[in-house]
């Protein structure tokens, strides 16, 4: 049964002349084993919130409220709008991209097999208007997703959505809202209780960017008719591979050590996430967010300067062969390449026989578009290896809930491992506070006056070079 197939990873092209020496790797492996034990202990003690999700969310007590909310949504509404940003929307986008038709919202209802889905993410007024102006509110459910309840973009979207609903549907407006937020804390939870608005939970020990397998991702998945049990099984099976075995056995540990060495021993400050399948673009986007925010840290766990973090770059094969490959192959050797290969597309798209091809393109005869994109992936990786670049390849035996579950959990686990290898806390994000304070200052929020004043003063002194 192809849906049960396991993803594999070929890391051979990380090793060789001018690349990692296997002896060096084994040496690094000793430090890595300590990190592996640490993760294992934390997992066994239940201290890693995100690691518990694939197991606990399959329990009916945990899944039931989400299933019920989704059933009610599907019975009463035909459109779902996810109001959230960053970790609150990228996981759902990843699923829609990977598992649904490319033109899903444009399909007739029966073909779609689930609710239409839209996103309100950015604090962009044009996007807000262009969506809300054409929604039939009486058939729409807004799922407001923010663990803290204080995310300013989501607050802003919600403020406008709430007013719109109250105005247009004064008697039933609350029934068009569902919050997904912390079980105890924060302003969304408080509003849910005070105003009687339905709410699902993001477990308190799971941070936003690791929350995909909680109600954050599972509720929309169910609204779209996806198989969340397979998604959770895939994640659980990958979790099982990622707590022991050391180098070359534990995939998350092995990849984390490769990324860490590529950075610290080979000065590769970028990781190009390079899937060769349109349906994996959302995964690349989601992973880049997870990696950057978890590992870009000024201080290590003890409070000493770290200043670490490689920059993840989302690419898409074969498209970026016509966009970035020139730089990748001839520019500075400052990147680690993460190829993702899809071994089985839904339809191979066979080319016509020679007699039905234009003469100039007759080399395509006997092949399929699926073979072409796979050949391009292998060829690009080979050409990069030949020019001394470091890469590895994740192989997916098709794209399904089960394989996506594996792939996403691999991303989470390797990020956690990499954090511990760098010695930083992969679960916080202290650096984003500063910008927020200045933004609140500019918006005239009480308590932030000094930030606005500082900006004003500096801006006046600095704005001298305007072309």
Report the alpha-carbon distance of residue 448 to residue 454 in Å, rounded.
10
- Give me the phi and psi of 73, to 5 degrees please: -60, -45
Catalytic residue from among 36, 56, 121, 293: 293
Among 217, 309, 411, 419, binds a second copy (CB under 8 A): 309
- Residues 419 and 226: their CA atoms lie apart, in Å, by 32
Say if residues 14 and 260 touch (Cβ distance below 8 Å).
no
In angstroms, what is the minimal distance from the CB of 356 to a second copy? 5
Residues belonging to the chain: 467
Instruction: Determine which residue in the list 249, 388, 449, 457 makes contact with a second copy, applying CB under 8 A.
Output: 249
* Binding to a second copy, residues 32-71 (CB under 8 A): none
Distance CA 441, CA 421 (A): 37
Nearest in space to 141 (alpha carbons), one of 192, 205, 74, 209: 74
464 is catalytic: no
**Residue 292 binds a second copy, judged by CB under 8 A:** yes
CB of 308 to a second copy, least distance (A): 7
Structure tokens that stand for 274 in this block: 């390079």
Q: Give min distance, CB of 77 to a second copy, in A.
A: 18
Annotation marks residue 293 as catalytic: yes
Strands 199-201 and 270-276, bridge-based pairing: unpaired
Stretch that binds a second copy, among 28-36, 56-64, 158-166, 225-233 (CB under 8 A): 158-166
Give the active site residue among 322, 356, 386, 446: 322
Q: Does 279 bind a second copy (CB under 8 A)?
A: yes
Whether 457 contacts 333, CB under 8 Å: no
Q: Which of positions 337-396 make contact with a second copy (CB under 8 A)?
A: 345-349, 351-352, 356-358, 360-361, 363-364, 366-373, 375-376, 378-380, 382-384, 386-387
CB of 146 closer than 8 Å to CB of 181: yes
CA distance 215 to 181: 9
Closest approach, Cβ 63 to a second copy, in A, equals 27
User: Interface with a second copy includes 103 (CB under 8 A)?
Assistant: yes
Selected binder of a second copy within 207, 220, 251, 419 (CB under 8 A): 251
CA contacts within 13 A on the Cβ side of 155: 12
Q: Is residue 110 a contact residue for a second copy (CB under 8 A)?
A: no
How many residues touch a second copy under the rule CB under 8 A: the total is 148
What is the nearest approach in angstroms of a second copy to the Cβ of residue 338?
A: 14
Beta bridge partners of 178: 143
> Is 154 in a helix, a strand, or coil?
helix
Chain positions 428 to 447 lying near a second copy, rule: CB under 8 A, are: 429-432, 434-446
* Catalytic residue set: 293, 322, 436
């Amino acid at each position: 049964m192809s849906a049960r197939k396991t993803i594999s990873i070929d890391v051979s092209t990380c090793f060789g002349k001018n690349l990692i020496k296997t002896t060096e790797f084994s040496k690094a492996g000793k430090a890595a084993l300590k990190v592996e034990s640490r993760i294992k202990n934390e997992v066994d003690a239940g201290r890693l919130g995100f690691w518990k999700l694939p197991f606990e969310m399959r329990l009916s007590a945990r899944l039931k409220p989400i299933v019920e909310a989704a059933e009610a949504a599907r019975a009463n509404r035909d459109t779902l709008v996810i109001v959230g940003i960053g970790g609150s929307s990228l996981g759902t986008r990843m699923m829609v991209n990977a598992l649904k038709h490319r033109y899903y919202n444009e399909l007739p209802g029966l073909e779609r097999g689930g609710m239409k889905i839209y996103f309100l993410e950015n604090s962009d007024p044009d996007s807000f208007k262009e969506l809300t102006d054409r929604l039939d509110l009486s058939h729409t459910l807004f799922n407001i997703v923010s663990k803290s309840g204080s995310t300013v973009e989501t607050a802003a979207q919600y403020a406008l959505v709430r007013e719109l609903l109250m105005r247009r549907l004064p008697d039933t407006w609350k029934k068009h809202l569902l919050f997904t937020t912390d079980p105890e804390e924060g302003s969304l939870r408080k509003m849910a209780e005070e105003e009687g608005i339905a709410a699902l939970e993001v477990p308190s020990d799971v941070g936003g960017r690791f929350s995909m397998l909680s109600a954050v991702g599972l509720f929309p998945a169910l609204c779209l008719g996806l198989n969340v049990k397979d998604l959770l099984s895939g994640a659980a099976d990958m979790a099982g591979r990622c707590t022991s075995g050391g180098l070359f056995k534990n995939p998350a540990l092995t990849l984390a050590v490769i990324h860490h060495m590529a950075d610290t021993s080979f000065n590769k400050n970028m990781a190009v996430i390079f899937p060769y399948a349109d349906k994996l673009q959302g995964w690349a986007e989601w992973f880049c967010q997870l990696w950057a925010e978890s590992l870009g840290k000024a201080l290590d766990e003890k409070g000493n300067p770290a200043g670490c973090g490689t920059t993840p770059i989302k690419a898409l094969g074969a498209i970026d062969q016509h966009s970035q490959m020139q730089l990748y192959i001839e520019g500075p050797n400052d990147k680690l390449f993460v190829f993702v290969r899809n071994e089985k597309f839904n339809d191979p798209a066979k080319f016509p026989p020679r007699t039905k091809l234009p003469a100039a393109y007759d080399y395509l005869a006997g092949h399929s578009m699926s073979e072409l994109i796979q050949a391009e992936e292998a060829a690009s990786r080979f050409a990069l290896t030949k020019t001394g670049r470091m890469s590895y390849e994740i192989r997916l035996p098709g794209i399904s809930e089960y394989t996506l579950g594996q792939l996403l959990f691999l991303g989470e686990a390797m990020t956690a491992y990499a954090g511990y290898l760098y010695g930083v806390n992969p679960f916080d994000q202290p650096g984003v506070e500063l910008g927020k304070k200045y933004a609140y200052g500019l918006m005239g929020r009480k308590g932030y006056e000094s930030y606005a004043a500082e900006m004003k003063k500096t801006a006046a002194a600095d704005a001298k070079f305007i072309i």
